[in-house]
Chain A
Amino acid sequence: IDDVGHKYHLELVLEDVLDKDSTVNCTAEVLYHLGNKNIAPAVQFTIEGELKNTDEADNIFYSRIKSLEKELVAENIPDSHGSVSPEMEPIRLLAQVASGYVIWQNSTENTKFQLAQIKHVKQVKRSDDCLEFDYMILLHEMVSQEIIPWQMTVLWHPQHGVQVTQDSCQPKHALE
């Protein structure tokens, strides 16, 4: 679109990561802005039908974390061999959702990001109902092949959903 940017019309199928047979059709429009590359692409989408209800699993996870004596701390999820313990699986799923937001905010037509690993996650005590986690993640950028450490603060509540309240790119040598 002259003077505005590039708009893509997409037809895609969403597949439930936890249940490969559960799929939902989706259409979306993505606009990459021409001028300022620091603005996230504009996204509009519609989903055909409804997403699965996850209330039960959400509440189990919520109760479990709320009842921990000490704040949760973990690292290297998955580990070098690709393993994730069952207790950490929801922590990883939460990171994938939250990193989706970070990826969206930082994507251009020339990037392709994936969440590579959670290096470190620490639960932050809160006085209200929400759960708060401070993550240090590694993003893999496919075109440059770079591994980028990224910090993100994630809020979650079964009824209120996911929120990334803070995120920042970290220096590369934070790794070596």
Chain B
Amino acid sequence: LQLDFWLAPRSPGYPVDVRVPFPSLQPLKAHLEANGVFYSIMIEDVQALVDHEQTEMLRSSRRQLPLSTNTFDYATYHSLDEIYTFMDLLVAENPNLVSKLEIGRSTENRPLYVLKFSKGGTNRPAIWIDTGIHSREWVTQASGVWFAKKIVLDHENDKGLASILDKMDIFLEIVVNPDGFVFTQTQNRMWRKTRSRHPGSACVGVDPNRNWDAGFGGPGASRNPCSETYHGPYANSEPEVKAIVDFVKNHGNIKAFVSIHSYSQLLFYPYGYTSTPVPDQKELDQISKKAVAALSSLYGTNYKYGSIITTIYQASGGTIDWTYNQGIKYSFTFELRDTGRYGFLLPAKEIVPTAQETWLALKVIMLHARDHPY
């Protein structure tokens, strides 16, 4: 009968607990009844309990906040709390290299954090990297976390990175749009915009990549608050955008700016709002070519590159159009994996390979910025 005794028989008078496989249920009941043995059911369906426990375990191991950046699971998607905890851990573990800055607050009053990687100096020329501006593009925030750890791991033994940090600081904002990010985890996985509300409309949110002051409100953005590309009531209306604008202006010495999105496997330089080529088009194109080659060298992932408007579509009020017009010559945007098979729902197992290959491209850009001061 394949009975599994959980409380084994001792002697008469003592109860016995037994797990009964389904096919043996009737025969066993018949046997017990025929012999006048009393029984009661403690658990109707053991499998159901086991399944439930599994889900609970999975859920709670996710909810448990990380204890160190060495035990942190980089190959899975994390909650905002886990990412913010990760940042604090990274700083605590590497106080001489990493610090955390609060550059503002989101619409729903969440802190906006930037990690600063610096080997010293005062207001050194700097590189800015951001991820998670569009909340549904989960591989970007996950890659940002990986980049942060990578910088810490390699800052001494990797010659390229070490030499970059000898001269420059790196700023990394992992979650540009925390309100949207939380919304993708609690309500709507496909949410893209911020969570700001606007009088006269029931619709929520502004596209943070149409809210910058570069060709603001022009073709390539929508003035309909219900649209995914709504540019907002005015440039920098979104606190998430304003915080970065203020930071960049106050810093005054940022030399390279990279904003990361997904998906499509593309590398862009400005402009998106106009078809007039940027003056530095040739140089940016050459850097892009090199960066894409470096990226592909790892896993053979294919990327295309070019200016936003010629490669994808016209888009106004975009991040790197503004940063370029501020004088940050090395302004780039990435669209990470994949090309549409999973799209925004990129399987977690692709997080690390994506981050690894993207890092190679980022290093090309950072090294170029280091070698071509301006």
A residues near B (Cβ < 8 Å) are 17, 78-83, 114-117, 138, 140, 142-147, 172, 175-176
- Say whether A145 contacts B229, CB under 8 Å: yes
Q: Is B2 an interface residue (CB 8 A)?
A: no
Give the Cβ gap from B231 to chain A, nearest Cβ, in Å. 12
Which chain A residues lie closer than 8 Å to B187 at the CB level? 176
Which chain B residues lie closer than 8 Å to A17 at the CB level? 341
Which chain B residues lie closer than 8 Å to A78 at the CB level? 342, 345, 347
A144→B210 CA distance, assembly (Å): 12
- Say whether A143 contacts B313, CB under 8 Å: yes
Q: Name the contact of A144 in the complex, choosing from B138, B228, B346 (C-beta under 8 A).
A: B228
Closest to A175 in B: B188
Give the Cβ gap from A19 to chain B, nearest Cβ, in Å. 14
Which chain A residues lie closer than 8 Å to B343 at the CB level? 114, 116, 140
- Say whether A83 contacts B340, CB under 8 Å: no
- Say whether B227 contacts A82, CB under 8 Å: no
**Given contacts A82-B347, A83-B347, A116 and B77 within 8 Å (CB-CB):** no
Query: How many residues of B are counted as interface, with CB atoms below 8 angstroms from the partner's CB atoms?
Result: 28
Which chain B residues lie closer than 8 Å to A146 at the CB level? 227-228
Closest to A145 in B: B228
A117→B343 CA distance, assembly (Å): 9
Give the Cβ gap from A21 to chain B, nearest Cβ, in Å. 12
A80→B190 CA distance, assembly (Å): 9
A43→B139 CA distance, assembly (Å): 35
A176→B192 CA distance, assembly (Å): 13
> Most chain-B Cβ atoms within 10 A of its Cβ — which of A17, A142, A145?
A145
Q: Is B8 an interface residue (CB 8 A)?
A: no
Give the Cβ gap from B8 to chain A, nearest Cβ, in Å. 36
- Say whether A82 contacts B348, CB under 8 Å: yes
A143→B228 CA distance, assembly (Å): 10
Which chain A residues lie closer than 8 Å to B350 at the CB level? 82
Q: Closest 3 CB pairs between A and B?
A: A82-B347, A114-B340, A145-B228
Q: Is B363 an interface residue (CB 8 A)?
A: no
Which chain A residues lie closer than 8 Å to B228 at the CB level? 144-147
Chain B positions 210 through 222: 1 when the CB is less than 8 Å from some CB of chain A, otherwise 0: 0000000000001
Give the Cβ gap from A69 to chain B, nearest Cβ, in Å. 15
- Say whether B344 contacts A144, CB under 8 Å: no
- Say whether A116 contacts B344, CB under 8 Å: yes
Which chain B residues lie closer than 8 Å to A143 at the CB level? 313
A-B contact pairs, 13 of them (CB 8 A): A78-B347, A81-B347, A82-B345, A82-B346, A82-B347, A82-B350, A115-B340, A116-B343, A138-B190, A145-B192, A145-B228, A145-B229, A176-B188
Q: Name the contact of A81 in the complex, choosing from B188, B226, B348 (C-beta under 8 A).
A: B348
Closest to B207 in A: A145
Which chain B residues lie closer than 8 Å to A147 at the CB level? 190, 228
Q: Is B76 an interface residue (CB 8 A)?
A: yes
Q: Is B189 an interface residue (CB 8 A)?
A: yes
- Say whether A80 contacts B347, CB under 8 Å: no
- Say whether B227 contacts A140, CB under 8 Å: no
> Which B211-260 residues sit within 8 Å CB-CB of chain A?
222, 226-229
- Say whether A117 contacts B345, CB under 8 Å: yes
Give the Cβ gap from A116 to chain B, nearest Cβ, in Å. 5
- Say whether A83 contacts B348, CB under 8 Å: yes
Chain B positions 128 through 154: 1 when the CB is less than 8 Å from some CB of chain A, otherwise 0: 000000000010000000000000000
A117→B350 CA distance, assembly (Å): 18
- Say whether A80 contacts B229, CB under 8 Å: no
Which chain A residues lie closer than 8 Å to B226 at the CB level? 172
- Say whether B190 contacts A82, CB under 8 Å: no
> Most chain-A Cβ atoms within 10 A of its Cβ — which of B76, B207, B341, B344?
B344
Q: Name the contact of A116 in the complex, choosing from B190, B229, B313 (C-beta under 8 A).
A: B190
A176→B347 CA distance, assembly (Å): 24
A172→B77 CA distance, assembly (Å): 27
